[in-house]
Amino acid sequence: MCGLLEASTAAAAREDRFDWFCQTVSSEVMPVMLSSRHAADFRASFTYLDLGDVQLSALTCSPLLSRRTPSHVRRGDPEHLQLALVTQGSVRISQRGNESMVAGGLVLTDTSRPSEGACTGGQTETLVMQIPRQALALNSDRVDRLLAQSMAADAASGAILADFLQTLLTRGPHCRPEELRAMGSVTLDLTTAFLAQQLGDPGQAPAEARAQQALQRVYRFIDNNLGDPDLTPQTVADRHGFSLRTLYNLFADQPLSVAAHIRQRRLERAAADLARPELDRQPVQTIALRWGFSSNAAFGRAFREVYGITPSEHRRAALGHPGGVGQERPGLGDPGMPR
């Protein structure tokens, strides 16, 4: 899902609005059982913002109870950590033997574990950030200590994170997809810093967790700078204060070297653009340059090496055009390739 998905019972007042809300939460967030004494006059809205690395949802609803059982976990588990900011009303949450009442603060839960919750105090407004566990560069066992613990959002890093999330939800719908992906990286960094602070001095984290955190920062930096033709391993190392050897050691256990990863991500982005109907009239060379390739010839060679076909052939196949050269306008093909 890209950009903003917004639905509200105010826009579609129906007798089944509580059922609609239950279905929306179960499909867009995770399977869960919801109940409410206010089902007959239930009021709710749900807003979803896709940030690439993470997703941000805003839920407003009448009082309700929620329960996620082991059966729900088996039925659907996105393997996410969920960091919720309660901006109105109060939320009671229990998980892993912990229970907290949260009002105006933050609370962390794990979709892979059963949980129970309740929205009380009239209309409740909550921002929920969904974070893939593997994207959070912190030791999982340490993070589990924070589950269902109320954390302050009115001071220090908690206040910075809370303000950022609320601004992002307001301004995000006006951003382009690539801007939202960049904001997702910033969101993840702020969240990591906040949770690390809750766990104590980040410098005390195990060496393996610190290395993983550095690796995730590098991956996000690369993704946000693929269009820079000067993006090289040396550039990445310099921007992160590493020596080149340290950067190479960081990638030693990864499937691809840092240079190969940069090339692979550029090819993936270019291939995605070539398959977009709205970019059908853009020259292949324009797309190649957009994603940091120095020339159309270099792009064509790299593309054919990985995908086994030329960029133009990929475009025709993706857009359902016949394979004949007549579908390509002059100047849009691949240099040195038969036309």
Spatial CA neighbour of 293 closest among 263, 253, 256: 263
Cα 139–103–196 angle (5° rounding)? 20
For residue 180, give the H/E element and its range. helix 177-198
Name residues whose C-beta falls within 8 Å of residue 56's C-beta, 6 or more positions apart in sequence: 48, 49, 127, 128, 129, 130, 165, 168, 169, 172, 187
In angstroms, the CA 297 to CA 142 distance is 49
Q: Is the pTM of this model over 0.75?
A: no
Cα gap 238→236, rounded to integer Å: 6
Q: For a pLDDT cut of 70, what percent of the chain falls above it?
A: 87
Average pLDDT (8-26) is 63
Check: CB of residue 270 under 8 Å from CB of residue 276.
no
Task: Express as a percent the part of the chain with pLDDT over 90.
Answer: 50
- Give the pLDDT of residue 9: 33
**Diameter over CA atoms, the chain:** 70
Region for 143 from its dihedrals, namely left if φ exceeds 0, alpha if ψ lies in -120 to 50, beta otherwise: alpha
Q: How far is CA 253 from CA 80, 150, 212, in A?
A: 24, 37, 11
What amino acid is encoded at 63 in this protein? Answer: P
Picking from 199, 196, 201, 230, the residue whose alpha carbon sits closest to that of residue 216 is 196
| For residues 153-172, average pLDDT | 91
What does the pLDDT average to over 150-173? 91
Helix segments in 225-295, DSSP class H: 233-239, 244-250, 258-274, 284-290
Return the number of other C-beta atoms located less than 10 Å from residue 282's C-beta.
15
Q: Cα separations (Å) of 274 from 63, 279, 293?
A: 47, 7, 14
Rounded mean pLDDT of 103-128? 92
- The predicted pLDDT at position 155 comes to 84
- The secondary structure element, H or E, covering residue 178 is helix 177-198
Tell me how far apart the alpha carbons of residues 85 and 161 are, in angstroms, rounded to a whole number: 10
Angle (CA) 193-195-200 rounded to 5° is 90
d(CA 263, CA 259): 6
Cα–Cα distance list, 164 to 143, 159, 186, 338 (Å): 22, 8, 10, 52
Over residues 255-261, the mean pLDDT reads 94
DSSP state of 329: P
Query: Of how many residues is the chain composed?
Result: 339
Looking up tokens 């070297």 gives 257
pLDDT in tens, 175-220: 888 888 888 888 988 898 899 888 875 554 556 667 777 888 899 8
- Segment 292-313 shows an average pLDDT of 93
Query: Per-residue pLDDT tens for 82-97?
Result: 999 999 999 999 999 9
pLDDT of residue 323: 55
